[in-house]
Structure 1
Amino acid sequence: MNFDDTPEEAAFRAEARRWIEANAPRHLEAELKRASFASSGIESEDPMAASKAWQKKKAEGGWACLHWPKEYGGRAATPIERVIFGQEEGVYGALSGPFIIGHGMCGPTVMTWASEDWKRKLLPPLASGEEIWCQLFSEPAGGSDLAGLRTKAEPAKDGSGDWIINGSKVWTSGAQHSQWGLLITRTDPNVPKHKGLTMFFLRMDSPGVEVRPIKQANGQSGFNEVFFNDVRIPDSQRLGAVGQGWEVSLTTLMNERLSIGSGMSNGFPELFRYCLEAEIDGKPAVDDSNVRSKLAQFAVRQSGLKYTGMRAITALSKGQTPGPENSIGKLVAGANMQDLSMFALDLQGQAGVAWDEDSPQNGRFQGMLMRSPATRIEGGSDEILRNIIGERVLGLPGDIRVDKDVAFKDIPTSGRTKA
């Protein structure tokens, strides 16, 4: 690939830079420089309000969801132009955190599977940040086996054609802030588990929906439990055919792994700066050969993630759908975040135990370490991703699945009620 801008791309970059310089919230720049994968870094005002204000301004200027069609709130830009804008947006891109799931996962799924009327109704307010979406997939008893979900969707008995939902989801990011959610359910327990699923979207303020935030180790509550008690959903809010939910979910999952892997803060620039500032035996840490060796390893990983991401961008620029190879970026990025933050805290010594405004790098690496275990689970655990890469990218033999042709209701359970 040639990474130099074409004349058209250079002109686009100049236009984006002028707009950002004229409109960016400069008063937040210092705080945003402290942003990490766990936090926007904003403390002087409501982070959600700041994020919505910046997203609204981008939408009004024609810079929101650049690659989406104009009628859905985008700009019909090329994938490369989207990357260029992200490069020019710089630290202000941290304000996009609340919209990553909606813009990167739910939006593409709605765009692929919803009716034209629903697309025109749902996508523009999603692009502008007016509405936030969440992804209602994982369940307490399912672990990493999404197809093992037990939330039921049954036809309403009043003949209305609506569906009645009962069950629960867990680890739902941003549910407490969301107006809409993508919901995958089981509609037929009499067929193998991957075939009896159906996807819906619903208002999160629907009667019978309860959201309970989960307190995390890093002090935040980004994840939630969500409970459904006789929630009614119109059939018009179904995505795909009845029983086609697994296929629909793959659209979401492929975009999810691309979004998580490409959007994850790797922390390497901050670690390098810290190694220039920190001392070992009275000398800069970077002078230590062991430190330089570790920095070299992290630099190689960062480079690999960058160019693997560029491969995905190239595929998108050719009109291709994100594929299983995007699991590579997510797998490496999650482990890299954990390894890098642990190394940084080792360099801090006893100071690494503290986590406050006086901590080195404002506690960035402490926050990364507390958040990093979740990155190795969400969007597919490390084990799931390795299977995907082995089977679908490298062509290795698949795992033995004894339940492949067994009806879901007949799959043995331990301490659980059958569907």
Structure 2
Amino acid sequence: MANVSLVEHDAAEHVWLLPEVLHGKDTSSPADFLALDSLLTPAERGERDAVRQFVEKELSPHTRDWFKIRPPLRELTRLFGQHRMFGRLIGETAARIPPAVSFGLQMLELEAGDTAFRQLVSTQDNLVMFALAEYGSPEQRSEWLPQLVTGEAVGCFAMTEPTAGSDVAGMQTVARRDGPDWVLNGEKRWITNGVDADVAIVWAKTDEGIRGFVVPTRTAGFSAVDIGDKVAMRHSSSTELGLRNVRLPASALLPLASGSRAPLSCTSEARYGILWGAAGAARDCFLAALERSLARTQFGRPLANFQLTQQRLAVMCSKVGHATMLAIHLGRLREQGCVTAAQLSLGKLQNVQAGLEVAREARALHGGDGITLEFSPIRHMINLEAVSTYEGTHEIHTLAVGRALTGIDAFR
């Protein structure tokens, strides 16, 4: 590292290398074995540490209980608002050059606590607030964005249906004009926070193509039922929404959203947070496995003393480092305004898969105790099984990357 020169720090807050690294000292630790902190600015590290402290102090002590009995979402949302967890990417309009790495580090630290904590911000910011900021009218933005930023209002994003997930064109919810009004009919499923939401961004087919609507959840004909018997994502609510002759004024239409590209751009935003969060879950699982292997004794020696255990730990460490490095790189591309949807698909595909593999290995290293909530890997493992499905399955993202590589659309 002796020949590495310092990159000039400009108005965009480019990268500073850590002084310890520049002086040739070994600053690696199990939590950052590749010294990736050297790729972050001092401000980014400070903001990351503040989120980590928030998770450790306010959230982690409750994760076991909240897995058994879901936390009161409205109270949790207000707590997140008080700690400024919302709105980092959103201003009066969608940020064109957002603090992407800083936001990503927030997602990483939240999911190191639990996937649902990252999902709360992803839903509120990447889906609901992004849709309003990017496609909404000035009146819609002024009414809802301030409430969503503070956590006084909860939002949900209603695109997925019982028979249509990634196949947006297959959605069956319809909106028809009736005089100056719109009337919506249909069903949505697997809608995060739908039971508690104050406002829903609902996507429906119209004679003009797919359009988005801002729907206050108290509107007549709107119903929300929690999906029970979930094994994963137990800290958050997943909902079935019913739309039965929901009558909305013309002002409810998102004026700038037309066609399937609009809702898909929102889910692409969410994938960015997901790929960071998966790296956080992987890190927590790896550190739990390392601690367990050093503390537990078998045949008179710590588990860490066995070669196969060290092999497992080395592979997990590698996957955590590479997932984090990929997330930082995609964040820098985003800050430059040149990241592509296919690159985010690859990031989501790669990092969620890496997170799952690390979680499974970490759970196995805990032995029989690994299936209890005393240790975090089993919780991360089943949560990541859900993450591998939503915002596009592994198969969908594989085909998205394949299309970018070959120019051939193999979805149908």
1:310 Cα deviation after fit: 1.2
Matched-pair contact (CA < 8 Å) for 1:255–1:322: no
Q: Are residues 241 and 29 of structure 1, via their aligned partners in 2, closer, same or farther at CA, if it must alter by over 3 Å?
A: closer
In the TM superposition, residue 13 of structure 1 has moved relative to its aligned partner by: 5.8
Cα gap change, 1:90/1:375 in structure 2, threshold over 3 Å: closer, same or farther? closer
In 2: Cα distance, 1:130 partner to 1:308 partner: 34
Measure how far apart 1:30 and its partner are: 7.6
TM-score by length of 1: 0.75
**Could you tell me how far apart the structure 1 residues matched to 2:83 and 2:294 are?**
36
Counterpart of 2:267 (choices 221, 243, 253) is: 253
Alignment of 1:51-130 (within 5 A): 51-59=76-84, 64-69=86-91, 78-82=99-103, 97-130=119-152
Pairing 1:397–2:411 present: no
What amino acid is aligned across from residue 226 of structure 2 in structure 1?
A: P
The aligned counterpart of 2:252 is 237
Counterpart Cα distance in 2 of 1:12 and 1:375: 26
On the 8 A contact 1:31/1:42 being kept in 2, the answer is no
Equivalent residue pairs, number = 370
Deviation >6 Å, runs of 4+? 39-43, 84-94
Distance in 2, matches of 1:2 and 1:311, equals: 12
CA distance in structure 1 between the aligned counterparts of 2:126 and 2:98, rounded to whole angstroms: 15
d(CA) in 1 for partners of 2:45 and 2:118? 20
Matching residue within 156, 171, 187 for 1:168:
187
Q: What's 2:203 paired with?
A: 184
Partner residue, 2:356: 338
Gaps of 5+ in 2: 1-13, 19-37
Which residue of the partner structure matches residue 415 of structure 1?
none
SS at match of 2:309: helix
Between the aligned partners of 1:87 and 1:376, the Cα distance in structure 2 is 16
- The answer to whether residue 378 in structure 2 is matched with residue 366 in structure 1 is yes
Which structure 1 segments of 5+ residues have no match? 189-194, 402-419
Normalised by the length of structure 2, the TM-score is: 0.76
What's 1:131 paired with?
A: 153
* Structure 1 residue matching 2:195: 3-state secondary structure: helix
> What SS does the aligned partner of 2:192 have?
coil
> Offset at 1:40?
6.6
Other-structure match for 1:308: 326
C-alpha root-mean-square deviation of aligned residues, in Å? 3.7
Deviation at 1:95, TM superposition (A): 5.5
Identity value in percent: 19
- For residue 127 of structure 1, report the CA deviation from its aligned partner: 1.2
Corresponding position of 1:273: 291
Q: Which amino acid aligns with 1:395?
A: T
Please state how far the C-alpha of 1:11 moved relative to its aligned partner. Answer: 6.1
The residue aligned with 1:347 is 365
- SS at 2:260's partner residue? helix
Aligned-partner Cα distance in 1 for 2:187–2:300? 55
**CA 1:378–1:17: 2 relative to 1, 3 Å:** closer
**C-alpha separation in 1, matches of 2:367 and 2:67:** 24
Match of 2:57 in 1: 29
- The secondary structure found in structure 1 opposite 2:237 is coil
Cα distance in 2 for partners of 1:84, 1:368 equals: 18
> What letter matches 1:347 in structure 2?
L
C-alpha displacement of 1:172? 1.0
Q: Assess, with a 3 A threshold, how the Cα gap between structure 1 residues 250 and 346 changes in structure 2: closer, same or farther.
A: same
Amino acid corresponding to residue 207 of structure 1 in structure 2 = A
